[in-house]
Structure 1
Amino acid sequence: MNSLDIRHELPYIPFGPFKIRLPFFHYKIEKVEFIQGLVLGVTGLSSVPYLMEYLGLPYELAWSCVIIDVFLYILHGFLGDPVVPGWITPTLPLTIIYLQGYEMGPERIQAMIALQILVGIVFIFMGITKMADRFVHVIPNSIKGGILLAAPITVMSGQLGEGQSFSKYPISIIAGVGLLLLISFSDKYQELRKNSKFLDLIAKYGNLFPYLLAMVVGLVMKEIATPVVTGENMIKLPEFSNIISQISIFGVGVPSFRYFIDALPLALVCYVIAFGDFITSETLIKEASEARKDEIIDFNSSRSNLVSGIRNIILGILAPFPPLSGPLWVGMTVSVSMRYKEGKAAMRSLLGGMASFRLATFFSVICVPVVMFFKPLFPVGASITLIFQAFVCARIGMDYCKTDRDKMIAGVMAAVLAVRGSAWALGVGIALNILLSNIEVSKD
Structure 2
Amino acid sequence: MSESPETREQPGWKWGPFTFRLPFYHSRLLWPEFIQGMLVAAATGLALVPIMTNAFGLSFEEAVALSFIHSALIASAVIVFGEPYAPGWITPVLPLVLFFVIGNYEDPQMRFQAMTALSLTFALLVLLLGITGLGRKFVIWLPETLKAGIILGAAIAALHRVFVKDADERLLQQPIAITLACAICLFLMFSLPLQRMEKKNKLIQTLAGLGLLPGFAAAAIVGPMVGEVEYNIEWGILIPPFTDAFSKASPFVNGWPTMDMFMTSVPLALISYVILFGDMVTGNEIIRDGKRWRRDEKIDINPTRTHYSLAIRNALMGFFAPFFPTQGAVWAGVHVVVVQRWKQGPEAMKSLHSGLASYYMMGLPIIFFVLPVLTGLRPLLDIALSLTLVLTGFACAYVAMAIPSTNTSRGTVLLIGTSLAFFEPWIGLAIGVIATLALVGWDRVPEPIPDEDKSNEEPSS
Normalised by the length of structure 1, the TM-score is: 0.77
**Match of 1:223?**
228
Q: CA deviation at 1:220?
A: 0.6
Counterpart check, 1:208 vs 2:209: no
Where does structure 2 lack aligned partners over 5 or more consecutive residues? 446-461
Residue by residue, what CA displacement relative to the aligned partner does 1:169-223 show, whole Å, maximum 9, x if unpaired? 2332232233344445554554555554444444333322222222222201122
Q: What whole-Å deviation, never above 9, does each CA across 1:19-50 have from its counterpart, x for those lacking one?
A: 33333555554555445544544333334334
User: Does 1:108 find its partner at 2:115?
Assistant: no
| 1:215–1:19 distance in 2 versus 1, CA, 3 Å | closer
Name the counterpart of 1:261. 263
What's the counterpart of residue 141 of structure 1?
A: 146
The correspondence of residues 347-426 of structure 1 with structure 2, limited to 5 A, is 349-360=351-362, 362-386=365-389, 389=392, 402=409, 411=418, 414-417=421-424, 426=426
Cα deviation, 1:143-184, whole Å, max 9, x if unaligned, reads 8479644555555444234xx233432332232233344445
Match of 1:160 among 161, 167, 175: 167
Other-structure match for 1:92: 94
**Is the 1:12–1:21 Cα contact (8 Å) retained in structure 2?**
yes
Q: What per-residue deviation string (whole Å, max 9, x for no partner) do you get for residues 123-162 of structure 1?
A: 323332222243355699398479644555555444234x
1:317 paired residue number: 319
What is the match of residue 134 of structure 2? 131
1:327 to 319, 326, 329: 329
Tell me the CA shift for residue 302 of structure 1. 1.8
> What's the counterpart of residue 250 of structure 2?
248
The question of whether the paired residues in 2 share the 8 Å contact of 1:159 and 1:383 is answered with no
Separation of aligned partners in 1, 2:262 and 2:360: 32
Distance change in 2, residues 1:327/1:438 (3 Å): same
The amino acid across from 1:320 in the alignment is P
% identical equivalent positions? 30
Q: 1:339 to 1:6 in 2, by over 3 A?
A: same
- 1:118 and 2:125 aligned: no
Classify the secondary structure of the residue corresponding to 1:160.
coil
1:16 is aligned to 2:16: yes
- Paired residue type of 1:179: I
Post-superposition offset of 1:432: 9.7
Q: Bigger shift: 304-313 or 95-104? A: 95-104
User: How big is the shift at 1:319?
Assistant: 1.5
Inter-CA distance 288–442: structure 2 relative to 1 (3 Å threshold):
closer
Which 10-residue stretch deviates more, 343-352 or 259-268? 343-352
Cα pair distance change 1:190/1:122, threshold 3 Å:
farther
CA contact (8 A) 1:48 1:378 kept: no
CA RMSD of aligned residues (A): 4.1
Which residue of structure 1 lines up, in the alignment, with residue 73 of structure 2?
72
Counterpart code for 1:87: W
Distance 1:261 1:392, change over 3 A: farther
**What secondary structure sits across from 2:19 in the alignment?**
strand
Distance 2:333 2:150 in 1: 22
Work out whether residues 73 and 327 of structure 2, in 8 Å CA contact, stay in contact via their aligned partners in 1.
Answer: no
Contact 1:34/1:359, CA 8 A, preserved across alignment: yes
Distance 1:23 1:252, change over 3 A: same
**Runs of 5+ consecutive residues of structure 1 not aligned to the other structure:** none
CA distance in 1, matches of 2:292, 2:12: 19
CA distance in 2, matches of 1:8, 1:97: 46
With structure 2 as the length reference, what TM-score do the two structures score?
Answer: 0.75
User: How far apart are 1:280 and its partner, in Å?
Assistant: 4.7
Contact 2:250 2:322 in 1 (8 A): yes
Compute the displacement of 1:74 (Å). Answer: 3.4
Deviates more, 1:61-70 or 1:164-173: 164-173
Q: What code does the residue aligned with 2:239 have?
A: L
CA distance in 1, matches of 2:5, 2:99: 53
Q: Give the AA of the match of 1:130.
A: G
1:34-79 CA-partner distances (Å, limit 9, x unpaired): 4554454433333433434554533212211111111123323223
Looking at structure 2, the residues matched to 305 and 329 of structure 1 have their Cα atoms a distance apart, in angstroms, of: 16
Structure 1 residue 343 displacement after superposition: 6.1
* 300, 303, 314: which one aligns with 1:301: 303
Pick closer, same or farther for the CA change 1:253–1:331 going to 2, 3 Å.
Answer: same
Provide the residue aligned with 2:46 in structure 1.
Answer: 45
SS at match of 2:171: helix
Answer whether contact 1:285 1:299 (CA < 8 A) is retained. no
The structure 1 residue matched to 2:183, chosen from 159, 178, 181, is 178
Letter in 1 for 2:216: Y
1:62 corresponds in structure 2 to: 63
The 3 A distance-change label for structure 1 pair 115 and 347 is: same
Counterpart-to-counterpart distance in 1, 2:418 and 2:22: 48
